[in-house]
Structure 1
Amino acid sequence: MSTTRCAIATSLAILATPALSVDEPLRGGAYEIAYSLELPHVQPMPGGSAKVCLTDAGGVSAFPVLSANNPLARCPVTKLRRDGREVSFEIACPGPNAAKAYALFDLRDGAFDGRIAMNMGGKNMTMTEVQHGARIGDCETTPTQ
Protein backbone atom coordinates (compact mmCIF):
# COMPACT_ATOMS: atom_id res chain seq x y z
CA MET A 1 0.00 0.00 0.00
CA SER A 2 1.31 3.43 -0.80
CA THR A 3 2.35 5.64 2.07
CA THR A 4 0.00 8.36 0.82
CA ARG A 5 -3.08 6.11 0.83
CA CYS A 6 -2.21 4.76 4.27
CA ALA A 7 -1.66 8.25 5.67
CA ILE A 8 -4.88 9.57 4.15
CA ALA A 9 -6.92 6.61 5.37
CA THR A 10 -5.38 6.65 8.82
CA SER A 11 -5.91 10.37 9.24
CA LEU A 12 -9.48 10.21 7.98
CA ALA A 13 -10.34 7.08 10.01
CA ILE A 14 -13.69 5.30 9.85
CA LEU A 15 -16.61 4.41 12.05
CA ALA A 16 -19.21 1.98 10.85
CA THR A 17 -22.28 0.29 12.18
CA PRO A 18 -22.70 -3.44 12.79
CA ALA A 19 -25.86 -5.11 11.59
CA LEU A 20 -27.32 -5.48 15.09
CA SER A 21 -26.33 -2.24 16.79
CA VAL A 22 -25.92 1.32 15.55
CA ASP A 23 -23.67 2.25 18.48
CA GLU A 24 -20.71 -0.10 18.00
CA PRO A 25 -17.84 0.92 15.73
CA LEU A 26 -16.58 -1.22 12.91
CA ARG A 27 -13.24 -2.65 13.96
CA GLY A 28 -10.27 -0.84 12.56
CA GLY A 29 -7.99 -2.84 10.32
CA ALA A 30 -7.00 -3.57 6.75
CA TYR A 31 -9.80 -3.24 4.21
CA GLU A 32 -9.88 -4.31 0.58
CA ILE A 33 -11.84 -1.64 -1.27
CA ALA A 34 -13.01 -2.20 -4.85
CA TYR A 35 -13.85 1.03 -6.64
CA SER A 36 -15.06 2.17 -10.05
CA LEU A 37 -16.09 5.42 -11.71
CA GLU A 38 -19.48 6.15 -13.22
CA LEU A 39 -19.91 9.02 -15.68
CA PRO A 40 -23.29 10.20 -16.98
CA HIS A 41 -24.31 8.51 -20.24
CA VAL A 42 -21.14 6.38 -20.30
CA GLN A 43 -20.54 2.74 -19.38
CA PRO A 44 -18.98 2.42 -15.90
CA MET A 45 -15.24 2.85 -16.14
CA PRO A 46 -13.03 0.16 -14.66
CA GLY A 47 -11.49 1.22 -11.39
CA GLY A 48 -9.40 -1.01 -9.27
CA SER A 49 -8.88 -2.06 -5.74
CA ALA A 50 -6.83 -0.80 -2.86
CA LYS A 51 -5.81 -2.18 0.49
CA VAL A 52 -6.31 0.60 3.01
CA CYS A 53 -5.63 0.69 6.73
CA LEU A 54 -8.66 2.25 8.43
CA THR A 55 -8.59 3.09 12.11
CA ASP A 56 -11.49 3.48 14.50
CA ALA A 57 -11.40 7.03 15.84
CA GLY A 58 -14.47 6.53 18.02
CA GLY A 59 -16.53 8.94 15.94
CA VAL A 60 -17.90 9.60 12.49
CA SER A 61 -15.25 10.11 9.84
CA ALA A 62 -14.84 10.12 6.08
CA PHE A 63 -13.70 7.45 3.65
CA PRO A 64 -10.81 8.21 1.26
CA VAL A 65 -11.30 9.02 -2.43
CA LEU A 66 -9.33 6.32 -4.27
CA SER A 67 -9.56 7.02 -8.02
CA ALA A 68 -6.29 8.04 -9.68
CA ASN A 69 -5.37 11.67 -10.33
CA ASN A 70 -8.34 12.91 -8.32
CA PRO A 71 -7.85 16.34 -6.71
CA LEU A 72 -10.54 15.57 -4.12
CA ALA A 73 -8.23 13.05 -2.42
CA ARG A 74 -6.29 16.00 -0.93
CA CYS A 75 -9.19 18.36 -0.09
CA PRO A 76 -10.83 18.92 3.29
CA VAL A 77 -13.86 16.95 4.44
CA THR A 78 -16.79 18.86 5.98
CA LYS A 79 -20.32 18.26 7.26
CA LEU A 80 -19.63 14.74 8.56
CA ARG A 81 -22.85 13.14 9.72
CA ARG A 82 -23.91 9.72 10.93
CA ASP A 83 -27.54 8.63 10.91
CA GLY A 84 -27.91 4.99 11.94
CA ARG A 85 -26.14 2.90 9.29
CA GLU A 86 -25.42 5.86 7.02
CA VAL A 87 -22.44 8.19 7.00
CA SER A 88 -22.47 11.28 4.78
CA PHE A 89 -19.96 14.04 4.22
CA GLU A 90 -18.88 16.70 1.74
CA ILE A 91 -15.48 17.41 0.23
CA ALA A 92 -14.65 20.89 -1.01
CA CYS A 93 -11.38 21.98 -2.56
CA PRO A 94 -10.46 25.64 -2.00
CA GLY A 95 -10.61 28.29 -4.71
CA PRO A 96 -12.95 29.35 -7.49
CA ASN A 97 -14.28 26.64 -9.81
CA ALA A 98 -12.77 24.01 -7.51
CA ALA A 99 -13.80 20.37 -7.27
CA LYS A 100 -16.44 19.35 -4.71
CA ALA A 101 -18.24 16.14 -3.74
CA TYR A 102 -21.02 14.65 -1.65
CA ALA A 103 -20.59 11.15 -0.20
CA LEU A 104 -23.06 8.66 1.23
CA PHE A 105 -21.98 5.31 2.72
CA ASP A 106 -24.03 2.37 4.01
CA LEU A 107 -22.22 0.59 6.83
CA ARG A 108 -22.37 -3.05 7.91
CA ASP A 109 -20.40 -5.23 10.27
CA GLY A 110 -17.00 -5.59 8.63
CA ALA A 111 -18.03 -4.00 5.32
CA PHE A 112 -19.42 -0.92 3.61
CA ASP A 113 -20.83 0.33 0.30
CA GLY A 114 -20.57 3.95 -0.74
CA ARG A 115 -20.89 6.53 -3.46
CA ILE A 116 -18.97 9.79 -3.79
CA ALA A 117 -20.71 12.10 -6.30
CA MET A 118 -18.08 14.52 -7.64
CA ASN A 119 -18.19 17.74 -9.63
CA MET A 120 -14.77 18.60 -10.99
CA GLY A 121 -15.39 22.35 -10.94
CA GLY A 122 -13.96 24.33 -13.86
CA LYS A 123 -13.96 21.22 -16.04
CA ASN A 124 -17.78 21.04 -15.80
CA MET A 125 -17.46 17.28 -15.39
CA THR A 126 -19.44 15.08 -13.00
CA MET A 127 -18.73 11.51 -11.98
CA THR A 128 -19.36 9.12 -9.11
CA GLU A 129 -16.83 6.91 -7.38
CA VAL A 130 -18.51 3.70 -6.21
CA GLN A 131 -16.80 1.79 -3.38
CA HIS A 132 -17.34 -1.65 -1.83
CA GLY A 133 -15.09 -2.46 1.11
CA ALA A 134 -14.58 -5.47 3.36
CA ARG A 135 -12.28 -6.03 6.32
CA ILE A 136 -9.49 -8.48 5.47
CA GLY A 137 -7.51 -8.46 8.72
CA ASP A 138 -5.27 -6.31 10.83
CA CYS A 139 -3.17 -3.45 9.47
CA GLU A 140 0.44 -4.21 8.72
CA THR A 141 2.88 -2.16 10.75
CA THR A 142 6.14 -0.86 9.36
CA PRO A 143 9.10 -1.03 11.75
CA THR A 144 10.66 2.32 12.62
CA GLN A 145 14.27 2.73 11.53
Structure 2
Amino acid sequence: MERTLKSERVAFLDGLRGLAALQVVFLHYVSAFLPVLAMAGLGPADLLASHGWQAAIARSPAVFLINGYSAVYIFFLLSGYVLRRAFARIDGFASGLWRRLVRLGLPASAAVLFAGALLSLDYRATINLRIQRQSG
Protein backbone atom coordinates (compact mmCIF):
# COMPACT_ATOMS: atom_id res chain seq x y z
CA MET A 1 0.00 0.00 0.00
CA GLU A 2 1.53 3.28 -1.09
CA ARG A 3 1.24 6.29 1.15
CA THR A 4 0.31 9.56 -0.52
CA LEU A 5 0.14 11.75 2.59
CA LYS A 6 3.77 12.88 2.35
CA SER A 7 3.45 15.57 -0.31
CA GLU A 8 -0.27 16.23 0.02
CA ARG A 9 -1.29 19.63 1.37
CA VAL A 10 -4.81 20.47 2.28
CA ALA A 11 -5.45 23.90 0.76
CA PHE A 12 -8.50 24.82 2.80
CA LEU A 13 -6.50 24.30 6.01
CA ASP A 14 -4.07 26.98 4.85
CA GLY A 15 -7.01 29.31 4.28
CA LEU A 16 -8.47 28.51 7.70
CA ARG A 17 -5.07 29.11 9.29
CA GLY A 18 -4.86 32.47 7.50
CA LEU A 19 -8.30 33.55 8.71
CA ALA A 20 -7.44 32.55 12.26
CA ALA A 21 -4.17 34.51 12.03
CA LEU A 22 -6.12 37.57 10.87
CA GLN A 23 -8.41 37.21 13.88
CA VAL A 24 -5.38 37.28 16.16
CA VAL A 25 -3.95 40.34 14.37
CA PHE A 26 -7.30 42.15 14.68
CA LEU A 27 -7.51 41.23 18.37
CA HIS A 28 -4.04 42.66 19.02
CA TYR A 29 -4.93 45.85 17.17
CA VAL A 30 -8.20 46.26 19.03
CA SER A 31 -6.50 45.41 22.35
CA ALA A 32 -3.99 48.20 21.79
CA PHE A 33 -6.36 50.92 20.58
CA LEU A 34 -9.88 49.91 21.71
CA PRO A 35 -9.38 47.84 24.86
CA VAL A 36 -13.05 47.83 25.85
CA LEU A 37 -14.01 46.36 22.51
CA ALA A 38 -11.33 43.70 22.92
CA MET A 39 -13.24 42.38 25.92
CA ALA A 40 -16.35 41.80 23.80
CA GLY A 41 -17.48 38.24 23.99
CA LEU A 42 -15.80 37.77 27.37
CA GLY A 43 -18.52 39.47 29.35
CA PRO A 44 -20.69 42.57 29.39
CA ALA A 45 -18.20 44.69 27.44
CA ASP A 46 -21.02 46.46 25.61
CA LEU A 47 -22.04 48.02 28.92
CA LEU A 48 -18.56 49.50 29.30
CA ALA A 49 -18.36 50.82 25.75
CA SER A 50 -17.87 54.56 25.69
CA HIS A 51 -19.27 54.97 22.18
CA GLY A 52 -22.46 53.61 20.70
CA TRP A 53 -20.64 52.05 17.75
CA GLN A 54 -18.46 50.00 20.10
CA ALA A 55 -21.52 48.61 21.85
CA ALA A 56 -23.12 47.85 18.48
CA ILE A 57 -20.05 45.87 17.38
CA ALA A 58 -19.86 44.10 20.74
CA ARG A 59 -23.46 42.88 20.30
CA SER A 60 -23.19 41.94 16.62
CA PRO A 61 -21.84 38.78 14.97
CA ALA A 62 -18.98 40.94 13.63
CA VAL A 63 -17.32 40.56 17.02
CA PHE A 64 -16.14 37.16 15.74
CA LEU A 65 -13.63 39.00 13.54
CA ILE A 66 -11.82 40.30 16.61
CA ASN A 67 -12.28 37.21 18.74
CA GLY A 68 -8.72 35.94 18.55
CA TYR A 69 -9.41 33.63 21.48
CA SER A 70 -11.46 31.33 19.25
CA ALA A 71 -8.56 31.39 16.76
CA VAL A 72 -6.43 29.69 19.40
CA TYR A 73 -8.90 26.80 19.47
CA ILE A 74 -8.76 26.62 15.68
CA PHE A 75 -4.95 26.44 15.81
CA PHE A 76 -5.12 23.59 18.37
CA LEU A 77 -7.54 21.65 16.18
CA LEU A 78 -5.42 22.22 13.08
CA SER A 79 -2.24 21.14 14.81
CA GLY A 80 -3.92 17.96 16.04
CA TYR A 81 -5.09 17.14 12.52
CA VAL A 82 -1.69 17.86 10.98
CA LEU A 83 0.13 15.84 13.66
CA ARG A 84 -2.19 12.91 13.08
CA ARG A 85 -1.27 12.97 9.41
CA ALA A 86 2.43 13.23 10.29
CA PHE A 87 2.25 10.29 12.69
CA ALA A 88 0.49 8.22 10.01
CA ARG A 89 3.66 8.56 7.87
CA ILE A 90 6.08 7.39 10.58
CA ASP A 91 7.27 3.82 10.09
CA GLY A 92 8.47 3.19 13.63
CA PHE A 93 7.95 4.91 16.95
CA ALA A 94 11.66 5.10 17.83
CA SER A 95 12.74 6.56 14.50
CA GLY A 96 9.92 9.12 14.59
CA LEU A 97 10.75 10.07 18.16
CA TRP A 98 14.44 10.47 17.34
CA ARG A 99 13.72 12.65 14.28
CA ARG A 100 11.38 14.91 16.26
CA LEU A 101 13.86 15.16 19.12
CA VAL A 102 16.59 16.28 16.76
CA ARG A 103 14.33 18.60 14.76
CA LEU A 104 12.66 20.25 17.77
CA GLY A 105 15.05 19.61 20.64
CA LEU A 106 18.17 21.11 19.12
CA PRO A 107 16.60 24.49 18.25
CA ALA A 108 14.87 24.65 21.65
CA SER A 109 18.14 23.88 23.44
CA ALA A 110 19.95 26.49 21.36
CA ALA A 111 17.28 29.07 22.24
CA VAL A 112 17.61 28.31 25.96
CA LEU A 113 21.39 28.62 25.79
CA PHE A 114 21.13 31.87 23.82
CA ALA A 115 18.66 33.32 26.35
CA GLY A 116 20.95 32.28 29.20
CA ALA A 117 23.90 34.00 27.51
CA LEU A 118 21.88 37.19 27.04
CA LEU A 119 20.75 37.14 30.67
CA SER A 120 24.32 36.64 31.88
CA LEU A 121 25.38 39.73 29.92
CA ASP A 122 22.96 41.93 31.84
CA TYR A 123 23.48 41.30 35.54
CA ARG A 124 20.62 43.62 36.59
CA ALA A 125 18.13 41.68 34.48
CA THR A 126 19.27 38.48 36.21
CA ILE A 127 18.81 40.06 39.63
CA ASN A 128 15.35 41.40 38.68
CA LEU A 129 14.38 37.96 37.42
CA ARG A 130 15.44 36.39 40.72
CA ILE A 131 13.50 39.00 42.69
CA GLN A 132 10.35 38.36 40.62
CA ARG A 133 10.67 34.60 41.16
CA GLN A 134 11.04 35.03 44.93
CA SER A 135 8.13 37.47 45.28
CA GLY A 136 5.67 35.65 43.01
TM-score range, shorter chain: under 0.3
Normalised TM-score (structure 1) = 0.21
Normalised TM-score (structure 2) = 0.22
- Report which of the two has the higher share of strand: 1
